[in-house]
A and B are shown apart, each in its own frame.
Chain A
Amino acid sequence: MNVATNPRQLVANDDGEPALVSEFLAADRREPVVHFTGVAKKFGTQTILDKVDLTLRQGEFVALLGASGSGKTTLLRILAGLDQANEGDLRVAPNRSVVFQEHRLLPFRRAWRNVLLGTRFGRNARAVAEKALAEVGLAAKANSWPKHLSGGEAQRVALARALVRAPALLLLDEPFAALDALTRIRMHALVEALWAEHKPAVLIVTHDVDEAILLADRILVLKDGRFSLDIDVSPALVRNRKAQEDAAEDVNHLKHRLLSELGVSTGAQIQ
């Protein structure tokens, strides 16, 4: 089997064989949660998005890579409704939530009340919040003030807060960047489990190529205002650590391709 990297539009794998028809249909039946056509964004004379098209479908787990300053956060903010694009046709599912690099918990609300921010669960709200916190392993901290949470814990509360409203689209802007390596590994597993449970479409911005390969089933690279790369991780490898270890060569190939796209020379030979 060859590498995991199909140009998405073709829906064919690298062997040149057409993908299974059923797979093709399955992929297509999922409703889009994001549909951008010709979206442009500039800051002054700097072009951040140069008439890009982008479609994300239900349940997709997409990693967005790009050099620093390439406009990943800007794209995410447009998707979140915090910034506006200058032109283009933008359609986005209304129920979407964001986890930022910092937790952004309200310091004057206990953890469980932070989870409920802006929700209307009525009488059983507290139970809903506690269940969401239990899912991120923080049932015991429901009553804590954000000030008394560690960085990783606060970020997990932010994750629970994002998921409790069952978003169709979950936007994550380098959510683990400020965490230590061990906590980050735990967070990967957690995000994966939460995604498997709730199946939102996920767009995760990251600087970490390994993180992208480990978590995503599709990887985008933003460069010079366009998606210079839009590739699917081969289904056999997606979120499968064992398979990824076994197919180390394929994974490395993918990694080098991403890194060279990001302008990092790895010095390794790409087959």
Chain B
Amino acid sequence: MSTVVLQTLETTPQRELVPLRWYAPRNVVRFLLPVAALAAWQTGSATGLIQSQTLPSPTEVARTFVELFDTGDLQAAMPASLARAGAGLFLGLLIGIAFGLINGLSRFAEEIFDSTFQIVRLVPFIALVPLFIIWFGIGEEPKIILITLACVFPAYLNTYAGVRNVDSRLVEAARTFGLSPLQITFQVLLPAALPSVLVGVRYSMGISLLALIVAEQTNSRAGIGYLIFVASGAMRIDMVVACVLIYAALGIVIDLVMRLIEKSALPWR
């Protein structure tokens, strides 16, 4: 008879489901890498490993932030940039989600619009910048239209797929309970498609930032992109880095906002 060596399995005491505090280990770990990178950057600058002309040290950049704030440049640039991105994003989401819903719900609409959308989607929006300048001048319009165009497609594709991929068995069940097509649309299809729509919104938000950067680097007279333009003309690398960091911060804010929205809109997930 062979001997059986029994393996001991671990136990875990029952844990209370308390909401994670911001200083909980899991959350602290998230900041480990960024903080380490920052420390390395600072050390590199202090030891002369990183040249100030190539990349100014974090403290220099921080000082630049203070300078930007004191001169009021930052306060002027932020609203201009945010308004542009916000307007473009809003219009893009409106168009993208609307067409996504219409094409997802109606075969007929899909046949009319979808192939055209798919073709336009494949045009890299950045390639349109010169055209837009010729068509719409150098004011706000081409910038907002560019951002709008960039935001339409992620919203469109995800909304469309979300509606199309709703479990047909749920729709059937709703039909047996006597729901009208309109009720099915509002009570089954749209809520079931919402997670996918929100994924689209998240992508659109990210793209809006990208489009903002592209739009602002050409012929701006306000905004963070304009600050970068001016700073690079004046060889102020610290200021360029500060502005890049602002873009990064905006990206993080977008991510946080979307997490909050998803959490409150999709409690059933």
- A165 to B177, Cβ gap below 8 A? yes
**How far is A106 from B245 in the complex, measured between Cα atoms in Å?**
43
Whether the Cβ atoms of B170 and A106 lie closer than 8 Å is: yes
Report yes or no: A117 in contact with B268, Cβ–Cβ below 8 A.
no
A81 to B175, CA, bound (A): 8
B169 lies within 8 A of A106 (CB)? no
Residue from A80, A108, A145 with most neighbouring chain B CB atoms (10 Å): A108
A117 B192 Cβ-Cβ under 8 A: no
Which residues of chain B have C-beta atoms less than 8 A from A118's C-beta? 174, 177-179, 183, 187
Q: Does B194 contact A (CB under 8 A)?
A: yes
User: Is A117 touching B177 in the complex (CB atoms < 8 A)?
Assistant: yes
- Closest Cβ of chain B: how far from A151's Cβ, in Å? 16
Chain A residues lying within 8 Å of B174, measured Cβ to Cβ, are: 106, 117-118
The answer to whether B176 touches A80 (Cβ under 8 A) is yes
- Among B170, B174, B183, B194, max chain A CB count under 10 A is at B170
**Is the pair A106, B192 in contact by a Cβ cutoff of 8 Å?**
yes
**Chain A residues numbered 225-241 whose CB sits less than 8 Å from any CB in chain B:** none
Q: Which residues of A contact B179 (CB under 8 A)?
A: 117-118
> Which of A12-20, A97-105, A191-199, A212-220 interfaces with chain B?
A97-105
- Which residues of the other chain, A, contact B177 by a CB distance below 8 angstroms? 97, 117-119, 161, 165
* Residue in chain B with minimal CB distance to A144: B268
- From A97, A100, A161, give the contact of B169 (CB < 8 A): A100
Q: A106-B170, A117-B187, A147-B268 known; A98 and B192 CB under 8 Å?
A: no
Contacts of B268 in A (CB 8 A): 107-110, 145-147
Give the nearest-CB partner of B169 in chain A.
A104
In the complex, which residues of chain B have a beta carbon less than 8 angstroms from the beta carbon of A102?
169
Would you call A181 an interface residue if the criterion is a C-beta within 8 Å of the partner chain's C-beta atoms? no
Q: Are B188 and A82 in contact (CB under 8 A)?
A: no
Q: Nearest residue in B to A145 (C-beta to C-beta)? A: B268
Tell me if B192 and A107 are in contact (CB < 8 A). yes
Task: List A contacts of B172 (CB < 8 A).
Answer: 82, 104
Task: State which of A100, A106, A145, A161 has its C-beta within 8 Å of the C-beta of B191.
Answer: A106
Interface of B is mostly: helix
List chain A residues, Cβ under 8 A from B173. 98, 100, 104, 117
Residues from 182 to 198 in B contacting A, C-beta threshold 8 Å = 183, 187-188, 191-192, 194
B144 CB to closest chain A CB (Å) equals 34
A168 to chain B, nearest CB (A): 13
> Once bound together, how far apart are the Cα atoms of A196 and B168, in whole Å?
33
Q: Is the CB–CB distance between B188 and A106 below 8 Å? A: yes
Task: Write the B156-182 contact mask toward A (1 if CB under 8 angstroms, else 0).
Answer: 000000000000011011111111000
Q: Which residues of A contact B269 (CB under 8 A)?
A: 147
Question: Hey, what's the 0/1 contact readout for B228-269 against A, CB within 8 Å counting as 1?
Answer: 000000000000000000000000000000000000001111
CB neighbours (8 Å) of A145 from chain B are 267-268
Q: How distant is the Cα of A153 from the Cα of B178 in the complex, in angstroms?
A: 24
Task: Indicate whether A98 sits within 8 Å of B176 (C-beta atoms), given known contacts A106-B188, A108-B191.
Answer: yes
Interface centre among B173, B176, B188, B194 (most CB of A within 10 A): B173
B98 smallest CB distance to A (angstroms) = 21
Q: How far is the CA of A134 from the CA of B163 in the complex (A)?
A: 34
Q: Are A108 and B192 in contact (CB under 8 A)?
A: yes
| Smallest CB separation, B21 vs chain A (Å) | 25
Q: Are B169 and A108 in contact (CB under 8 A)?
A: no
Chain A residue at minimum C-beta to C-beta distance from B179? A118
Report the separation of the CA atoms of residues A147 and B173 in the bound assembly, to the nearest whole angstrom.
Answer: 17
State which residues 82-112 of A face B: CB under 8 Å.
82, 96-98, 100, 102, 104, 106-110
Starting from the known contacts A96-B176, A97-B176, A161-B177, 16 additional A-B residue pairs (CB-CB under 8 Å) come to A82-B176, A97-B177, A98-B173, A100-B169, A106-B170, A106-B187, A106-B188, A107-B268, A108-B194, A108-B268, A109-B191, A109-B268, A117-B173, A118-B178, A118-B179, A146-B268
Task: Provide 23 A-B residue pairs closer than 8 Å at the C-beta atoms, listed in order of the A residue.
Answer: A81-B175, A82-B175, A97-B177, A98-B176, A100-B173, A102-B169, A106-B174, A106-B187, A106-B188, A106-B191, A106-B192, A107-B268, A108-B194, A108-B266, A108-B268, A109-B191, A117-B174, A117-B177, A117-B187, A145-B267, A146-B268, A147-B269, A161-B177
Residues of B within 8 A of A (CB): 169-170, 172-179, 183, 187-188, 191-192, 194, 266-269
